[in-house]
A and B are shown apart, each in its own frame.
Chain A
Amino acid sequence: MRELPSLGRKTLGGVVVLALVGGVLSGFVDKNALSSTLRLSVPIAFAALGGIFAEKSGVINIGLEGHLIISAFVGIYATNLTGNVWIGFAAGVLASTLFAVVFAIVCLEFRADQIIAGLAVWLVALGLAPFLSTVIYESVNAGSAGFDPITIPGLSEIPVLGALFDAKPPVYLMLLAVVGSWYVLNYTAFGRWVHASGENPQALDTAGVSVKRVRYASVLLSGVLAGIGGASLSLSLGEFSGNGQTMVDGRGFIAIVVYLLGNYNPIGTFLSTTLFAGLQTAQIQLQSGYLPSSLVQTIPYITVIIVLAGVGRTRTPDAAGDHYESGEE
């Protein structure tokens, strides 16, 4: 029998339980709730997948939030410039990838502290996106055309699960990316190198694979994935809002929690994402009830803390956060 690679049975069990809890809480009773859960999952799931690749390769990318912010804004701006949502989308991804390039160079060539460089990415994006918006649109908020939903005839009529076939393109992309990332990490040589690069870079180096190249590739991939998440966030709504924490509002940090909860496994991470997104959905519905809304808004965060405490510690890759230079003792 072939066991599911790198998804321990315990973790799998835990995550399934969590997803069920999330499902119940979000009221998996109607199509709208599932639809909303999936939509809210998109930016978190993409950022988390990106975080998995970076951290598994040994580079902790704590700046996912920044990648989401910059791609969300550039997506809107480029859509307005070109009039084409998909070109805008691609531009958003490109912007996030450029941030990742800078982050990778600073960390891998100049051996900067990954946490500090990651925070810098976040802070730069947090300042830059609303600033550009103000310069271009004379407001921190901007609007543009957005994605139209794609409805698959027939399948979308299924009760509840029909939500999977009646959604905007990012939702479909997300499902593909989750499965694709899982496949790449577990079945391809690149996935194995990413794993080795984060656990014991010297082993990979002596095996004749350049650790630096694997880490560059992984960090860029994290930029691409987080960029897809950010551009999806703004272009699904057709607007960017840059007030306060911007519309991204901590999703990039939630993504880190989520992939830790999912133990660096894309499938587990996706299930944890739906838990969080499900809670968010439930929270929105509860706001119309008796409880004060500001209290209700904290429900997802409090639940995540409780769940994290219950699940216990995730083992981070041995070499995560460490610099590695070939030929050094």
Chain B
Amino acid sequence: MTPAISLDGITKRFPGVLANDDVDLTVERGTVHALLGENGAGKTTLMNVLYGLYEPTSGRIVVDGTERSFEKPQDAIDAGIGMIHQHFMLVDSMTVAENVTLGTEPRKWGGLAIDRDQARQDVVDLCERFGLAVDPETRISELSVGVQQRTEILKTLYRGTDVLILDEPTAVLTPQEIEELLSVFELLTDQGKTIIFITHKLGEAMQAADEITVLRDGRNVGTVDAEATTREELAELMVGREVLLEVETSSYDPGAVTLSVDDLTVTNEQGIDVVSDVSFTVRRGEVFGIAGVDGNGQSELIEAITGLRRPQAGVIELGDREITDDDRRERIDQGMAHIPADRHERGVVMDFDLVENGLLGSQHAEAFVNNGRIDWKRTREHTETIIEEYDVQPPNPDASASALSGGNQQKFIVGRELARDPQLVVATHPTRGVDIGSTEFIHERLLELRAAGVGVLLVSSKLEEVRGISDRLGVMYEGEFVDTVDPEAVTEEELGLLMAGEQPAQEVSADERE
């Protein structure tokens, strides 16, 4: 059988960067093919070449046995290739049917009007044929992310796509939505469609794909059968060396309470309560994790704790001191380190060099002040220590933050924050957009602090992460803690339900009886 897609020696060179280096890729018709690799491995570039967004420097694209060259996405669409980007290409204020038919609207009255009934019917038919449940009349802004994604899939199907490319489709979904997406994959392949999806998550690739191709540094380092491979094998292919997937945690021996949050209520800019009456404590020598789908109040909660947002009500204590009304500086002085969620927004100043960035947050600290002026010599030494200890690449204190990759920026921020000798570390998405190697490294550092008796408050939307290194795990939904669970005992399904605001039936009744 002719493969649906066959890429032959694709090389894509950007000024100064070799993004794809002689990549071969064969995708069989009616299969799910995962493209696995770390950030910057060239996965998205390769798919953008296939989709006509980039022209390859050299190499051939063969679609269904015919060699093609794509100058623009429309050429790829005409050849039956559709791509769903990480950021959805939907108009929020339009309905599902309007979005699906955008650009190819069915017309009536000699083209003078859109045939709305036809458009709706087309979408209903498409939904039925592929077993997708979407209401064509709902506006995109009213839909959950999972359904928006399904709308994107409908959009490509409406244009007669045979090969569907999805860029990190699960990054924004809850575990249940991921399950649904994977069953959609099955429905589509049953109908003869071919799916290529980009991911850096091993588990997903193994679960959903028939075949997995691993990219590293722009090269294809191996295509394996998803049934036959192991997580360890894939991780090694991705990173190029053996990786410890299970984090070793030392015994759990928590000490005194370091952070105590009592009945905290926080409002957002619109004055709506986004955190309601939340109470919890973090003790020395433990990692307290907060899991939840993004946007359920985690960021406002963290902003209130770190002093970036004034809470409406409630008390926050650090050690034995109340810090509810303290500002950032006082909190830093009290030993609170913060790894912010958005490193560009709050972690580093992109135009500053590393020495200047290394000073951020410590500009008042006596160690860095000499006669009322900043002691740059001392700051430089400090920065060099961070760079060395945290293996920041390139190891150049005069490089500006923008010259570093995301993973290295993050390592630098983690290094700077942990160097404050804190009693509490508030880490939000500490490994977001960071590759496996650096993730492993950051986790190890956090666990070292835990072993040294520091309290760690960890917020992450990655389930693996919060389950892997937390000792206790609070699940947030719509501004409240649905439950606090033991991350080792809870299953992924239970956690998924909690994140969707539902108490697993049995546990609720057990709690209520007590």
Which residues of A approach B to under 8 Å, CB–CB? 6, 187-189, 192-193, 195-196, 199-200, 202-209, 318, 326-327
Contact = CB atoms under 8 A, between A and B. Distances in A.
Given A188-B112, A192-B114, A199 B93 contact: yes
A204 to B, nearest CB: 7
Using C-beta atoms within 8 Å of the partner chain, give the interface range for chain B: 20 to 34
A188 B113 contact: yes
Interface in B73-87: 73-74, 77, 83, 85, 87
B105 interface: yes
Contact of B99 (A189, A203, A318): A203
Contact of B103 (A193, A199, A327): A193
Contacts of A196: 91, 94, 102
A36 to B, nearest CB: 35
26 contacts: A6-B93, A187-B113, A187-B114, A189-B107, A189-B111, A189-B114, A192-B94, A192-B98, A192-B102, A192-B114, A195-B93, A196-B102, A200-B90, A200-B92, A202-B89, A203-B90, A204-B91, A205-B73, A207-B89, A207-B103, A207-B155, A208-B73, A208-B74, A208-B77, A208-B103, A209-B103
B513 to A, nearest CB: 49
Contacts of B113: 187-188
A6 B114 CA distance: 15
A195 B107 CA distance: 17
Contacts of A327: 53, 72
Given A189-B107, A195-B91, A327-B53, A204 B114 contact: no
A210 to B, nearest CB: 10
Contacts of B94: 192, 195-196, 199
A319 to B, nearest CB: 10
Contacts of A202: 87, 89
> Which label, helix, strand, loop or mixed, suits the secondary structure of the A interface?
helix
Given A188-B114, A192-B98, A327-B53, A200 B89 contact: yes
Contacts of A318: 92
The binding surface of chain B is classed by DSSP as loop
A318 B98 CA distance: 18
Interface string B108-146: 000111100000000000000000000000000000000
B105 A192 contact: yes
B207 interface: no
B58 interface: no
A154 B232 CA distance: 90
Contacts of B114: 187-189, 192
B104 interface: yes
A203 B155 CA distance: 11
B92 A207 contact: no
A327 B85 CA distance: 13
A222 B7 CA distance: 47
A318 B83 CA distance: 23
A199 B139 CA distance: 14
Contact of A206 (B89, B92, B104, B107): B89
Contacts of A204: 91, 102-103
A199 B98 contact: no
Contacts of A206: 73, 83, 85, 89
Of A189, A199, A205, A209, most B-chain CB atoms within 10 Å: A189
Contact of B91 (A189, A199, A208, A326): A199
Contacts of A205: 73
Contacts of B74: 208
Given A187-B113, A188-B112, A208-B77, A200 B91 contact: yes
